[in-house]
A = this chain, B = another copy of it.
């Protein structure tokens, strides 16, 4: 325990044993319980330390839970790296003096003692001030203190006048530059791994490259699309404003036990097989499927994406087809069954004979080094993001080692965990270093559960995992999406794009592909098992490409939609209409070297940028509602007689409204499923 005790500091993972998650230019809240003995006053501040060990930001902590002594301040790291933070507490003798002085003057007792004490701390401040030029101390500070000293000595003046001199604005400024503190106590330092912004915020677009440019020739034989033909679609994708193009696996596909269309056990001639059954005579994880092209084609694909401002994410599925070279080169990397055969994937009595899982316990070092080598191959060809397939079926230990090594050797490389599993594993993978996580978003469809989930992700698990919101994937087509027609695709796109800093769209979303394989929550004629060329021009008629384009434009224009932690739920009078405000703090909006902007609601209010979203969650019926806007991000209070507080602009339609704290909204699936509103605070 320090002299002024500091306890229960967050964010921390296992009390600082592992690093919490941070992102460049995203503020994070530091909270701690600070208390002390007796009646003397004290204060605390949170201090941010950059990777070089410099204390670059110090913020006074504010009491957020009176009675429980819980304090908070927000810190904003500005670039990626291994940052730390700590809490500093101290006894505040001047605040104590001020408190006591007011009480004594009020009771007309010990007046001379009051000013003898003031003289003492003023002289102490003067001494400090001489050494405090670095922290901005000026001659004016010195003068202010000396003038105040003169006044407090004048016993003929009233105690009130002398007190006012001791607490004048100039004196307070001087004390900022030359703080007078006792019993300064520092907590231990807590690590925060700060990643680049794409780890937190980005718009993703998923494709099976072989579908793009595939076709049937005259005799009905399918011809695969290639990396080269897929690259021709990059302009369209970039045109919608996406930041990341994500490719399902591009490595050779096995032929033994290859799956046929709709996950049937027997592939028909010409069936291309699942790209997740990796490995054939043409190579394994470090090779490219010959039908897709060569590494040269891959390099050109990456270069083209880059020229459009997009990064390439590659699927990384650590499993093997029966034809994978590892099976013959390294049979020891697999499980040998009691009957001497190598084990295919199995969840008895179900068998997945097209897939052989690695056994990470047989030769952990050998497997680890080989996987690092494979990742390095793709990194050398421009891949900057790996979407890791089913990381929760591999040892967490393995990922911990890999993430630690890559954070040092390749700090720009990002890993997305596709672990649709229970919270301990999902958060555990985040804790060991995955940059981003698929999450339960697709299955949260009711208003209340969405509100709770947004809140949980932003305020409870934010130091452990960064969520990616995907309305659909090639594996997931929920009943809500199957049943809700185009409006479901529209409203879930708005929810995904404004509900989390990262969202993703699986190719075909534009066409409202919502037919499921009977009995399954996934697409019929799943693209995993067949070519799926699409008519993008038909897609234009749904209006969804236009909606996605608008959403991505709004996301790029508003830092508030690129941050996880600034969210307030706005209650509404309808159980079908959800509303939330996302906001960014001034330091977050400032950018890497920019001046810190004025908050929307004026000095001291939290939000420098904000977007209010309102969505009708019912894809079948129109609803209206009165909102109960949470005003706290704006630091405004309700006006008289409902006068307007905000001018809001629907960034989807360009319409402008004057809103007070209880606006009325009406949303219809046929016309508009949502408002996405930028905000101007009307000042008096």
Inter-chain contact B113/A339, CB cutoff 8 Å:
yes
Contacts of A394 in B (CB 8 A): 37-38
A645 within 8 A of B: no
Closest 6 CB pairs of A and B: A15-B15, A107-B349, A116-B338, A103-B348, A69-B424, A100-B348
Inter-chain contact A5/B428, CB cutoff 8 Å:
yes
A39 within 8 A of B: yes
Measured between C-beta atoms, what is the minimum distance from A10 to chain B in Å?
12
A3 within 8 A of B: yes
Contacts of A347 in B (CB 8 A): 39
Counted per complex, copies of this chain come to: 2
Q: Mark A378-401, 1 if CB is under 8 A from B, else 0.
A: 000000000000001111110010
Interface residues of A in 334-363 (CB under 8 A from B): 337-339, 347-349, 361
Inter-chain contact B396/A1, CB cutoff 8 Å:
yes
Contacts of A36 in B (CB 8 A): 396
A553 within 8 A of B: no
Inter-chain contact A37/B68, CB cutoff 8 Å:
no
A372 within 8 A of B: no
Using known A-B contacts A35-B424, A112-B339, A424-B7, determine if residue A432 contacts B397 with beta carbons closer than 8 Å: no
Measured between C-beta atoms, what is the minimum distance from A126 to chain B in Å?
16
Cα of A422 to Cα of B67 in the assembled complex, Å:
6
Which of A15, A35, A106, A431 has the most chain B CB atoms inside 10 A of its CB? A35
Measured between C-beta atoms, what is the minimum distance from A539 to chain B in Å?
39
Inter-chain contact A35/B393, CB cutoff 8 Å:
no
Cα of A33 to Cα of B109 in the assembled complex, Å:
60
Chain B residue with Cβ nearest A340:
B116
Inter-chain contact B424/A68, CB cutoff 8 Å:
yes
Using known A-B contacts A1-B400, A15-B17, determine if residue A33 contacts B338 with beta carbons closer than 8 Å: no
Contacts of A422 in B (CB 8 A): 35, 67-69
Chain B residue with Cβ nearest A338:
B116
Measured between C-beta atoms, what is the minimum distance from A366 to chain B in Å?
17
Inter-chain contact B424/A183, CB cutoff 8 Å:
no
Cα of A8 to Cα of B428 in the assembled complex, Å:
11
Interface residues of A in 98-118 (CB under 8 A from B): 99-100, 103-104, 106-107, 109-110, 112-113, 116-117
Partner of A423, one of B68, B396, B425, B428: B68
Contacts of A35 in B (CB 8 A): 422, 424-425, 428
Measured between C-beta atoms, what is the minimum distance from A310 to chain B in Å?
32
Measured between C-beta atoms, what is the minimum distance from A301 to chain B in Å?
32
Contacts of A219 in B (CB 8 A): none
